[in-house]
Amino acid sequence: MSRLVPPHGGKGLVCCLLEGAELEAEKKKAAGLKQIEISSRAKGDLIMMGIGGFSPLNGFMDKANWKSVCEKMLLADGTFWPVPVTLDISKEDAAAIKVGEEVALVRKGEIMATMKVSDIYEMTEADKKWECELVFKGEGPDSQNFWEVAPKDHPGVKMVMAQKEFNVGGTVKVLSQGEFPTKFPNVYMTPAQLRAKMDERGWGKVAALQLRNPMHRSHEYLAKIGVEVCDGVVIHSLVGALKPGDIPAEVRVECIDTLVDKYFVKDFVIQAGYPLDMRYAGPREALLHATFRQNYGINNQLVGRDHAGVGDFYGMFEAQEIFKKIPQPAEDGKRLLCQPMNIDWTFYCKKCDGMASMRTCPHSKEDRVILSGTKLRKMLSEGAEVPDHFGRDEVLVILRKYYEGLTEKVEVKMQRAASGSAM
């Protein structure tokens, strides 16, 4: 009998991925359907719907669901859902298809899914701005002048504003998991696979550490807090696409492998990966992470400062506070059951001679080594010396090798959260 939290939505794992004879028949049918090219973000969303990671979603959102999610963080049926999951199409494609029709969704030559169209709705510039303000606008200084800063500096906003003129909604049948099972064979896991692994270990209370940066000492400290108070911790890395300047998944996975091998008791930690692209939606994305992690069997999410943030768009701990403000549907299945495990600002303190937080360390800022993934990337990209106790030596060797091999380098901008100036 599993001790893990049930999937979100009250319907079990809703998996749209076809298998066996059903898969082969749908592939043949898909070859004769009108093809719609989809974005990298939509590909990741599709795969998550395929494997049950986005339960209870079984397709891209129609206008009613899009509007309700943006406004209320609820699906039209009252189930909690924090960010819109939509598919944009061109004006020409919108004119060429109709409600009730089936289409093939294609990414770079591979048919990823078929979709039965239930809604086609225009997305004006005003509609896109409305979505951006509700989903991406936070309480940080960059959000005070949102439309002056976001169009050039917020990757999520740029992505939405660059979407095509229409959205199309409808249920999907997913035909592929893309490259992820072969590219990350020991890391990429479906919710069912991760649940089985945790059930084997008898875990019930599980914490997840969200990672999009290489794992430094602060991440390690957070994970070990989770290990101390839970049955185990899942180091759950995004293996989809990131913004320019971020470190690719295969390098981050190697870093985590090294850390787990040398600095963790392996019985209490699992490294896993999921196929989404980052949206950089800060607090709303923290809620999305908690929602799909519930589907993976995780009931606690470690949330530190500036979770899933970018620039200075969000308050330092806005991603913790938002959990107190979300709607609470009456039905258990429709509520978010994965809860935040809030951790204060963490750092290495020279006087404490170890990792600490604002709640445990009484010393001054001058005694602290402020840790952040952005700060680490900036130092490494500029060939600067990395301070003692910032990262494990074995990990820094891997990262320096990666940066030395780059032919093009992207400037890494520092923000308050990364520099420590807001402490």
Contacts of 193 (CB under 8 A, 6+ apart): none
Give CA–CA dist 134/149, Å, rounded: 16
Closest CA to 155 of 255, 56, 322, 281: 281
What are the backbone angles phi and psi of residue 174, rounded to the nearest 5°?
-90, 135
On the question of pLDDT at 423 being above 70, the answer is no
Which residues are known catalytic residues? 212-213
Query: For residue 420, what pLDDT is reported?
Result: 55
Domains in the chain and their CATH numbers? Answer: 20-123+163-174 (3.10.400.10), 180-423 (3.40.50.620)
Please tell me the pTM assigned to this model: 0.93
Residue 413 neighbours by CB distance under 10 Å: 13
Q: What is the pLDDT of residues 89-127, one digit of tens each?
A: 999 999 999 999 999 999 999 999 999 999 999 999 999
Nearest C-alpha neighbor of 349 from the set 385, 402, 388, 295: 388
The per-residue pLDDT for range 295-304, each reduced to its tens digit, is: 999 999 999 9
pLDDT, tens digit, 9 for 90 and up, residues 39-90 = 999 999 999 999 999 999 999 999 999 999 999 999 999 999 999 999 999 9
In the predicted model, what is the mean pLDDT of the chain? 93
pLDDT above 90 (res 11): yes
Residue 378, number of CB atoms within 10 A of its CB: 18
- For residue 418, pLDDT over 70 is answered with no
- Amino acid of residue 160: V
How confident is the model over 136-160, as a mean pLDDT? 97
> How big is the CA angle at 173 (ends 170 and 174), to the nearest 5 degrees?
120
- E strands, 155-309, are 166-174, 206-211, 232-238, 269-274, 300-303
Name the strand (E) or helix (H) holding 149: helix 146-153
Lowest mean pLDDT among 14-23, 199-208, 237-246, 251-260: 237-246
What pLDDT shows up at residue 417? 52
pLDDT tens digits, 222-234: 999 999 999 999 9
* Residue 278's pLDDT band (cuts 50, 70, 90): very high
Confidence label for 415 from pLDDT (cuts 50, 70 and 90): low
pLDDT at position 154 is: 97
Give CA–CA dist 176/277, Å, rounded. Answer: 17
Neighbouring-strand partners of residue 217? none
Match 């893990």 to its residue by tokens. Answer: 4
